[in-house]
Amino acid sequence: MHVQAALADSGEPEFLPAGHRVGPWVVGEPIGAGGWATVYTGRPADGATDRPGERPDENEVALKVMPTAGLAPRQARTVAEAARRELELGRGAGHPKLVRLLDFLVLSTPDRPSLDGAIVLVMERARCSLRELLATAVTEAEGARLVTGICEALDHMHRSGWVHADLKPENILIGRDGEVRLSDFGFSIELTGTHGWTAPMGTLDYLPPERWRQPLGERGVQIRPSADIWALGIVIHEVFAHGAFPFPGATPTARGAAVQQYAEGRAPLRMAGAVPEFWRAVATDCLAPTHEARAPHTAGSLLERIGAHEAGSEPGRRPSGQSRTRLRLRSAILLAVAGCATAVAVFWACTGGEHSARSPAPIRVFNAERGCQDRSDRDPQCSLGLAIDPRRSYTAGNVVDTRVWHGDVLDADCQLPKGQPIINEEDQRSTLWFRVRLSRTDGAATAPATAWLPAVRTKDRPALPPCAHLTR
Chain centre distance of CA 234: 17
CATH topology of domain 3-125: Phosphorylase Kinase; domain 1 (3.30.200)
Q: How far apart are CA 105 and CA 309, in angstroms?
A: 45
Q: Which amino acid is at 389?
A: D
Q: Provide the pLDDT for residue 260.
A: 94
CA distances from 61 to 26, 31, 150 (A): 10, 11, 22
Per-residue pLDDT, 35: 63
**DSSP code for 220:** B
pLDDT in tens, 149-165: 999 999 999 998 889 99
State the DSSP string of 43-108. EETT-GGGSTT--TTTT-EEEEEE--TT--HHHHHHHHHHHHHHHHHHHHS--TTBPPEEEEEE--
Instruction: Give residue limits of the domains in the chain.
Output: 3-125, 129-310, 336-469
Residue 258 contacts by C-beta under 8 Å, 6 or more apart in sequence? 247, 248, 249, 267
CA 23 vs CA 18, 37, 40: distances in Å = 14, 18, 14
Q: Please count the other Cβ atoms lying within 10 Å of the Cβ belonging to residue 448.
A: 18
pLDDT value at residue 101: 83
Q: Which CATH class is domain 129-310?
A: mainly alpha
Instruction: Evaluate whether 347 touches 472 at the Cβ level (below 8 Å).
Output: yes
pLDDT score at 303: 95
8 Å CB contact between 353 and 340? no
**pLDDT of 216:** 63
Contact (CB, 8 A) for 436 and 410: yes
Could you report the per-residue pLDDT of 19-40, keeping only the tens digit for each? Answer: 999 889 999 988 877 667 888 9
Contact of 367 with 466, CB cutoff 8 Å: no
CB 48 within 8 A of CB 59: yes
**Predicted local distance difference test score (pLDDT) of residue 53:** 41
Q: Are 1 and 201 in contact (CB under 8 A)?
A: yes
DSSP labels, 330-343: HHHHHHHHHTT--S
Residues of the chain with pLDDT under 70: 1-13, 34-35, 47-58, 70-72, 74, 88-94, 193, 197-201, 215-220, 313-358, 425-427, 440-447, 468-472
Q: What one-character DSSP code corresponds to residue 420?
A: -
Find out whether 446 and 435 touch, Cβ atoms under 8 Å: no
pLDDT of residue 218: 66
